[in-house]
Amino acid sequence: MRGWLLTFVPAANFKLLSGEDSLTDYRFGKEHIKHRFCKTCGVQCFGEGEGPNGPTRAINLLTLEGVDPDTLTVNKFNGKDV
């Protein structure tokens, strides 16, 4: 679960069902993205930031129960070269 497989959704389409009190966050660099993770185990579950179309959530699909990453279509993104 420490790896990342991200999907991006508008913040309005994201609802955290439970565990808010178990989360903390960190920011680095220009501090534009709030990286949310579990205070207990350190698993990084999602991020909050601004996308080109407004508030966005980056969800780490590897932290969701019932999601088999081998069944997903993956579009690779090289952030280094952007």
Domain range list for the chain: 6-66
Which secondary-structure segment (H or E) carries 58?
Answer: strand 54-60
CATH 1.10.3210.10 fits 6-66, yes or no: no
Residue 4: predicted pLDDT:
84
The pLDDT-based confidence of 82 (bands split at 50, 70, 90) is low
9-57: pLDDT as tens digits: 999 999 999 999 999 999 988 888 899 999 998 889 999 999 888 999 9
Residue 38: predicted pLDDT:
92
Encode burial over 42-80: b for 16+ CB neighbours within 10 A, e otherwise: eebbbbbeeeeeeebbbbbebbeeeeeeeeeeeeeeeee
58-73: pLDDT as tens digits: 999 998 999 998 999 9
Q: Is the dihedral of CA 53, 55, 60, 63 positive or negative?
A: negative
